[in-house]
Chains A and B, each alone.
Chain A
Amino acid sequence: MVNREELENRAFPYKMLLEATATMRELVERILPPKALPSLELGLKGMESVFSDCIEKAGEGLPIVGYHFALPSEFISAFDCVPQCMEAISFMLSAILPNTAEKYYDLINNYGHPYHTCSAQKGTMGMSLDNLTDFDAIITPTAPCDNTCASYPFFELKKKYPLILLDMPYKHDEAAFEYYGNEIRRGLEELGKIIGQEPDYKKLKKHIELENQVGKTMLELFELKKAIPCPVENMASALGSAAQIYMAGRQEKVDFYEGVLKAAKERLKAGVHHGGMEEKIRSIWLYMLTFFDLSLCEWLDRFLGMTILFDVFNYNFTEPIDTTKDLDTMFYGMAKKGMEFPMNRQSTQFYYTFIEDCIRFAKDFSADCFIYTSSIACKQFGAVPQILREALKDEVGIPMLVIDIDVADPRITNIKTVKEKISVFAQTLL
């Protein structure tokens, strides 16, 4: 007879994250004055709720389904299961449990995984080697990058977790959306067979509709960011990434964005930036934030007066999915969303769209500069910095700072070096 704790331990990474998140939330609520950092409070609250729910479901014996962040997680809500994002496990460990994730990166590196691969997968791969994971199935698109294609087979070959691949074309047109829509449908049916459930498309629709609703709130928030000073604190970008991945299709995401929007509207009305601080520089981070030290967000706000307008996980301009017609229409919409999802949009087509996006954002949001965290694993972005830099200079007249880094492993470039580089760069702008 399997006891509840054993069942819950199948979601062990989320147990680790729940404990860390709950502790952090308690600390934040005790230390910070009310409304001091609403996105942090709301984000931690949302994550704690999601992790608790997942662990509870694991304790009831529901299947554990690993998924790639490149697959909008509301798609898995067709099943009663415990979804666990492979990359978010690594990144969140790095963010909220200092000096923890590195052990798992080293474990998998010592197994033979190349050093230049992505920490996003390495953390969970290392935890798997340490027998801390227990997936009933894993589902992933074949995107956005080589690291995904290279690393995911490990879970099937070494750990024997059933692996479902949704082939995402590296081209965006009608034929590609149709193909990928069929892949999603086929993949969900295959997942259902593995975990012994029929996909519940009515349930899926409900979660998609919730996600459509929160999409409107997110767009409203983006519009507010055009204001000078920006009424949204930097930490909202960091927690927005977490909301995107963990809370998709859930009420927690609605609550998070409505709360952040409310706080932003209040600041907009008062004509102030976060904490009454002066906004001196408006930056767009075209890629990821430093997950290993998200306090960088506050430091930028408080010490440099540098606003992070958004990063790659927060400029999400996917269209709402039409759930009013037939399933074919819905899956087509899911495919479009999936392929236009953060990082997929940029990685699975030519750079021209990305460069046009960046120029448009720079103009629409009155950006003073771009900052690009050139993650060592991200080869699909490895050829963009110079041509983007040239385009920004020619079309908008603004500079771009490139920082070589591993966003989840501080041993490559530590936070002190990151801050120094940004400080020196900021001096040239002021």
Chain B
Amino acid sequence: MSLKNDKYLNISNSIMNPYIEEWKKNNKKIIGYYCTYFPEELLHAAGLLPFRIRATGNEDTDLGDIYMVRFTCSFVRMTLDLALKGGYDFLDGLFITNCCDHARRMYELFDLKVFNRKEFKEKPPRFYIPIPHVITKEGFDYYKQEIIKVKKEIEEKYKIATISDDDLRASISVYNKNRELLREIHKLRILDAPKLSGSEALQLSMANASVPKEIANQELDRILNILKEREGIKTNKKRIMLIGSVVDNTGFLDVIENSGGLVVNDFLCFGTRNFLDDVEVKSGVNPLEEITRRVYYRMSCPRMMDDHVRRLDFIKDQVKKAKVDGVIAQRINNCDLHGCDNMMFEHELRDVNIPVFNIDRENFQKDYSRLQTRIEAFFEML
């Protein structure tokens, strides 16, 4: 059964969707965020809807370029551009972390430029959590205290009496279920005859970050059942693992998958990094601490300076599990974090005979033909 016009996957094609509209109609609040290094369960427990900011559908950076120099990430610039054009006027708050130098400055720019527009009668609250760049016990303790502070801020700003431990446990349950469903779907992706394409997987991931989690769980369950029944993709296409910078549009994946590749696995933040592990629920343990523990200690992105080896081992393991023919390591231009991580991966993976194609791109490109030629050439080598 084709998922081509599936209404749930189609949510990923735009920013606004019927679930957001319904949420707003019920006078409920939506909080935008950029980075998955943040405890979504906390917002869910507060009755807020976390919405992952992306630039899908935006092809310009005209307004964004006024406030960010061209030597910055086009993904972040495009999201800013979209926000300045009114694409995020439905937000009732913003959650920023120091995930990278580009995204963290959205705190100031949303404060001074987006939320200052007349469309906002009142400036929505902004929240910030500094995340350590290392994975240590001391770093965890510091991060935990910052999350406790932010919890109090959320309660104060949204006039919530308290976000109780029971609320948090309930949210953990919903989110663990969500991650479990995504893992089940992922298992179908890495089969010898994958049940879904890379583009479909990305669409699922983006939709998942754009709707209430209860809705997401229902839809993922429905889609999982469809996929189980579906014929697998039997093809001679090269099995590819995609790693690197954020990917928020299927255009890029379509180029790969129309050039002779099938993206059977990934290491992306709209991808596997989100659902590898769950929050442990132990009785007597502070649920907020466990939520924090999961976020902090999970499989990292290159913002964690001391964790490259663990990321490398993960990639090697996933290459094996998904029987990957080659890795495409991509970065958005000016992404220093993924750029340098990818540089090391390229050498390290080649040392163990895993072919790697290391490329840079802009977040949106009107013309992919040159990139397609290079990708095709890489596939011919495999």
Task: List residues of chain A with CB under 8 Å of any chain B CB.
Answer: 111-114, 116-117, 142, 145-147, 149-154, 157-158, 165, 167, 169-171, 175-176, 179, 182-183, 186, 350-352, 374, 376-380, 382-387, 402, 404
Contacts and interface: CB of A to CB of B under 8 A. Distances in A.
B336 A186 contact: no
Given A142-B134, A153-B344, A383-B105, A175 B69 contact: no
Given A112-B347, A182-B138, A380-B101, A149 B68 contact: no
B44 interface: no
A112 B71 contact: no
Interface stretch (B28-36, B125-133, B184-192, B367-375): B125-133
Contacts of B105: 351, 380, 382-384
A112 B347 CA distance: 9
Given A149-B305, A387-B108, A171 B128 contact: yes
Contacts, number: 145
Given A112-B343, A167-B142, 8 more contacts: A116-B71, A116-B339, A167-B133, A179-B138, A379-B72, A379-B73, A382-B72, A383-B109
B82 to A, nearest CB: 16
Given A157-B308, A176-B130, A382 B68 contact: yes
A153 B309 CA distance: 10
B358 A112 contact: yes
Given A157-B308, A176-B130, A387-B108, A150 B334 contact: no
Contacts of A179: 138, 142
Contacts of B146: 171, 175
A111 B98 CA distance: 28
B72 A114 contact: no
Given A145-B101, A387-B113, A169 B145 contact: no
**Nearest 8 A-B pairs (CB), nearest first?**
A114-B339, A142-B133, A383-B105, A150-B340, A112-B343, A379-B101, A170-B98, A171-B130
B95 to A, nearest CB: 15
Contacts of B308: 153, 157
A385 B302 CA distance: 27
Nearest to B128: A171
A351 B146 CA distance: 20
A113 B335 CA distance: 11
Nearest to A384: B105
Contact of B337 (A113, A146, A175, A350): A146
A176 B101 CA distance: 19
Contacts of B342: 112
Contacts of B248: none
B107 interface: yes
13 contacts: A113-B343, A116-B339, A117-B340, A142-B133, A146-B100, A150-B337, A151-B336, A151-B340, A176-B130, A374-B71, A382-B68, A382-B101, A383-B109
A114 B336 contact: yes
Contacts of A402: 69
Nearest to B334: A116
A167 B72 contact: no
A115 B105 CA distance: 22
Q: Give the one of A171, A352, A383 with max B CB within 10 A.
A: A383
Interface in B83-141: 98, 100-102, 104-109, 112-113, 128, 130, 132-134, 136, 138-139
B303 interface: yes
Interface string B297-316: 00000110110110000000
A182 B71 CA distance: 35
Contact of B331 (A114, A152, A183): A114
B343 A383 contact: no
Contacts of B347: 111-112, 158
B101 A146 contact: yes
A176 B132 CA distance: 11
Given A150-B302, A179-B138, A379 B71 contact: yes
B333 interface: yes
Contact of A111 (B128, B132, B343): B343
B346 interface: yes
A404 B71 contact: yes
A170 B104 contact: yes
A112 B346 contact: yes
Contact of A167 (B70, B106, B139, B340): B139
Interface string B350-373: 000000001010000000000000
A382 B335 CA distance: 12
Contacts of B306: 153, 165
B136 A167 contact: yes
B336 A117 contact: yes
B175 to A, nearest CB: 26
B337 A383 contact: no
A147 B138 contact: no
B67 interface: yes
A116 B333 contact: yes
A346 to B, nearest CB: 12
Q: Give the residue among B145, B343, B358 with the most A Cβ atoms within 10 A.
A: B343
A177 to B, nearest CB: 11
B10 to A, nearest CB: 33
B341 A150 contact: yes
B66 interface: yes
Nearest to B307: A153
Nearest to B130: A171
Nearest to A383: B105
Contacts of A169: 130, 132, 142
A18 to B, nearest CB: 31
A149 B303 contact: yes
